[in-house]
Chains A and B, each alone.
Chain A
Amino acid sequence: MSTPLSIKHIDSAQLEGLVAALVGAGTTVIAPARRGDARDTVGYRAVRTMAEVVLDQRPDNALKAFFLPPTDPLLHYERKGKDVTLTEVDPQIAPRVVLGALPCDVAGLPIVDRVMNWDYRDEPWFGRRDATTVIALACDKADDACFCSGVGLAPDSPQGADLLLIPTPAGFAVEVHSDKGVAFVAQHAAFFADARDATEVQAFRQRIAGLLPHAEGLDPDAARTWIEAHFMDPHWAQLALACHGCGACTMVCPTCHCFDIVDEQEGVTKGTRRRNQDYCQYGLFTLHGAGHNPRGDQGARIRQRVSHKFAIYPDRFGAILCTGCGRCSRSCAAGIDMFEVVERIAGLQATLDEEAPTGGEL
């Protein structure tokens, strides 16, 4: 747990004022809010007032949509005879504030930064990252699908947050965790007060400690060891028996970042080249033009997703590509639970470790 650079306090009324001031100044504020649909769902969206913001329910979409949109224009083209004119998409993103995001969503941002900066800097991603101040809210909304504490995070993890709000009886303690957070607090100093008695924060932390008793014992390192040695294991095919291959798990995931690049015609001569979110659970994802498919069955595709998160990404980028948000488990129509998947795999490794000869005797 990184130590905050400083701690402030903000009253509920002042937070309302802050949102009004931000929106008034033309800043987009993104927060969990009701969509107003028949099922009364809550998701991240742009809000106009604090009254729209819902802080006591878990948003059902991933925050990543605001950094890696489901569809994102890369460039515009226009054909004229044999010539083509390209128009760049303006890389400038207006300043934005994310408010009240789940720590597990926020933690995904710096994890995905690593691949987006792998030798080549992905400007569309970092343009949005740089333009966005992220204010996370420490979470007390854990359910059975959650397992953040099993992958090295916590309901009050500040990873990826510029500011972390921790609920107190009178409002929120505000932990400042980045230079961007320092600048934000300085810029909006009128809304922030000095930190209050630390016991209020401790009371909240005591309440959320141990909310995820099942997750604490997860051993992702053991899972990684097993995955790296069991590429051809029948376990993958077995796991895939339940899977419909719908890809919902990848759509709601805060760290799934795979994409497609397609041209979309707009009339006869013009169009836009777009980056669209893509889903490794689809057979078309890896299908070769000549007909061969390296991941031709669902077992291979599930293996790819689980391996990517718990073995390949840790190996290449030093971080688990999963924040334990549990959204994939909640979204799975077949009831595949990611925590159970990883727990089972870690268990397979534990069994192997137990069976392995420990001494020098044969």
Chain B
Amino acid sequence: MNLYQPHLMRVTERIAETSDTVTLRLAFQDPSVAESFAFQAGQFAEYSVFGEGECTFCIASAPTRLPLIECSFKTVGKVTKALSRLDVGDTVGFRGPYGNHFPVDDWKGKNLVFIAGGIGLAPVRCVIDNCLDRRDEFGDVTIVYGARSVGDLVYVRELEAWAARADVRLVKTVDPGGETQDWDGEVGFVPTVLSDAAPGSDNAVAVVCGPPIMIKFTVPVLDTLGFSPDQVFTTLENRMKCGLGKCGRCNIGRVYVCKDGPVFTATALAELPPDM
């Protein structure tokens, strides 16, 4: 099969996360593909609507939950608009999985701190669910998640499920002014809320994903909390076409986000030229 030939998937559920963010639950149409498909937390794929084109997102569901595959996206352009209009039964193209992954196996016995902002929860949620499905392999689990407003929070059902677990500490927050009267979480920006939550850095790793401005102010907080750059992981996205290292646009200097990433440690991130 041609490298660029996608698998066909069917939309089995469409979830409107926010006014502009949608999650599609997908199933492979070919049973043999469904059976053999495997991926690891943090990998991405090329999703397509035939007649509109392809788009790059992480696989937002956990590898431990296959055959379930979900992608979540914000409606920003032609393809995401077309994807957002799809409904149950519609066909989606899928190429992947591509890229590297979070080294979850190396984290056995460690405390995990997940920090996400807005739609940045999508790739982090994949790792969270993956780790929660293997809960006894890890120590404490802390999740700090923030969005601009209550209406911008994604994965509300997961947030409820995580909040209900005794073995997960969930700190959710919205930006000042984004709260509603019945909001039961924090009010404040993610870096501040993280600083107050103060998860320990001993024997811990942190996974961070969110808008650049959040990352910029979160990394120093992690530093203050004692996290070394090797303990901090993030996932990048750049415009991509092939996902395979050939189309020539996602590189940051010598580093190809599609092949060397999308998962990077803060150490690797600091070595990247400022081409982001």
Residues on A close to B: CB < 8 A? 74-75, 77, 79, 82-84, 86, 88-89, 91, 115-116, 118-124, 231-232, 257-263, 265, 271, 273, 275, 278, 280, 285-290, 292, 294-295, 300, 304, 307-308, 311-312, 315-316
**Contacting residues, chain A, for B3 (C-beta < 8 A):** 120-123
Q: Which B-chain residue is minimally distant from A259 (CB atoms)?
A: B247
Q: Is the CB of A258 within 8 A of B247?
A: yes
Interface segment among B50-58, B133-141, B172-180: the answer is: B50-58
Assuming the contacts A88-B5, A122-B3, A259-B242, asked whether A289 and B253 have C-beta atoms less than 8 A apart, the reply is no
Q: How far is the CA of A286 from the CA of B251 in the complex (A)?
A: 10
Assuming the contacts A263-B50, A275-B4, asked whether A115 and B245 have C-beta atoms less than 8 A apart, the reply is yes
Q: Is the CB of A77 within 8 A of B51?
A: yes
Residues on B close to A: CB < 8 A? 1-6, 8, 10, 48, 50-55, 74, 76-77, 80, 89-91, 93, 212, 237-239, 241-242, 244-249, 251-254, 256, 259, 273-276
Interface SS, B side: loop
Residue from B5, B8, B50, B53 having most chain A Cβ neighbours under 10 A = B50
Q: Is the CB of B246 within 8 A of A231?
A: no
Taking the nearest CB of chain B, how far is it from the CB of A80, in angstroms? 10
Taking the nearest CB of chain A, how far is it from the CB of B20, in angstroms? 11
Q: Is the CB of B4 within 8 A of A75?
A: yes
Q: How far is the CA of A261 from the CA of B244 in the complex (A)?
A: 13
Q: Is the CB of A74 within 8 A of B4?
A: yes
Q: Which B-chain residue is minimally distant from A266 (CB atoms)?
A: B51
Assuming the contacts A75-B4, A82-B91, A231-B253, asked whether A258 and B248 have C-beta atoms less than 8 A apart, the reply is yes
- State which of B5, B48, B247 has its C-beta within 8 Å of the C-beta of A278: B247
Q: Is the CB of B247 within 8 A of A288?
A: no
Q: Is the CB of A261 within 8 A of B241?
A: yes
Taking the nearest CB of chain A, how far is it from the CB of B169, in angstroms? 30
Assuming the contacts A286-B239, A289-B76, asked whether A263 and B52 have C-beta atoms less than 8 A apart, the reply is yes
Top 8 A-B pairs ranked by shortest CB distance? A258-B248, A289-B76, A231-B273, A77-B50, A84-B91, A289-B77, A82-B89, A74-B4
Q: Which B-chain residue is minimally distant from A82 (CB atoms)?
A: B89
**Contacting residues, chain B, for A74 (C-beta < 8 A):** 2, 4-5
Taking the nearest CB of chain A, how far is it from the CB of B95, in angstroms? 10
Taking the nearest CB of chain B, how far is it from the CB of A282, in angstroms? 10
Q: Is the CB of B248 within 8 A of A294?
A: no
**Contacting residues, chain A, for B251 (C-beta < 8 A):** 304, 308, 312
Q: How far is the CA of A73 from the CA of B54 in the complex (A)?
A: 15
Q: Is the CB of A260 within 8 A of B259?
A: no
Assuming the contacts A82-B91, A263-B51, A286-B238, asked whether A122 and B1 have C-beta atoms less than 8 A apart, the reply is no
**Contacting residues, chain B, for A316 (C-beta < 8 A):** 254, 256
**Contacting residues, chain B, for A123 (C-beta < 8 A):** 2-3
Q: Which A-chain residue is minimally distant from B77 (CB atoms)?
A: A289
Taking the nearest CB of chain A, how far is it from the CB of B232, in angstroms? 21
Assuming the contacts A232-B274, A288-B238, asked whether A89 and B247 have C-beta atoms less than 8 A apart, the reply is no
Q: Is the CB of B275 within 8 A of A231?
A: yes
**Contacting residues, chain B, for A121 (C-beta < 8 A):** 3
Q: Which A-chain residue is minimally distant from B76 (CB atoms)?
A: A289
- State which of A82, A120, A257 has its C-beta within 8 Å of the C-beta of B248: A257
Assuming the contacts A82-B91, A118-B246, asked whether A261 and B76 have C-beta atoms less than 8 A apart, the reply is no
**Contacting residues, chain B, for A88 (C-beta < 8 A):** 1-2, 5
Taking the nearest CB of chain A, how far is it from the CB of B73, in angstroms? 9
**Contacting residues, chain A, for B212 (C-beta < 8 A):** 292
Q: A286-B239, A289-B55 are in contact. List 15 more A-B contacts (CB 8 A).
A: A77-B50, A82-B10, A88-B1, A118-B245, A122-B246, A124-B4, A257-B248, A263-B48, A263-B52, A271-B51, A273-B48, A288-B237, A292-B212, A308-B251, A312-B251
Q: List 20 A-B contacts (CB under 8 A).
A: A82-B10, A82-B90, A84-B50, A86-B8, A88-B1, A88-B2, A116-B246, A123-B2, A232-B274, A257-B248, A258-B248, A259-B247, A261-B247, A273-B4, A286-B239, A289-B80, A290-B74, A295-B275, A311-B254, A312-B254
Q: Is the CB of A86 within 8 A of B247?
A: no
Q: Is the CB of B239 within 8 A of A288?
A: yes
Q: Which A-chain residue is minimally distant from B91 (CB atoms)?
A: A84
**Contacting residues, chain B, for A292 (C-beta < 8 A):** 212
**Contacting residues, chain B, for A265 (C-beta < 8 A):** 51
Q: How far is the CA of A300 from the CA of B2 in the complex (A)?
A: 33
Taking the nearest CB of chain B, how far is it from the CB of A277, in angstroms? 10
Q: How far is the CA of A299 from the CA of B10 in the complex (A)?
A: 44
Q: Is the CB of B2 within 8 A of A89?
A: yes
**Contacting residues, chain A, for B52 (C-beta < 8 A):** 263
Taking the nearest CB of chain B, how far is it from the CB of A62, in angstroms? 16
**Contacting residues, chain A, for B254 (C-beta < 8 A):** 311-312, 315-316
Taking the nearest CB of chain A, how far is it from the CB of B231, in angstroms? 26
Q: Is the CB of A119 within 8 A of B76?
A: no
Q: Is the CB of A280 within 8 A of B248?
A: yes
Q: How far is the CA of A121 from the CA of B248 in the complex (A)?
A: 15
**Contacting residues, chain B, for A286 (C-beta < 8 A):** 238-239, 249
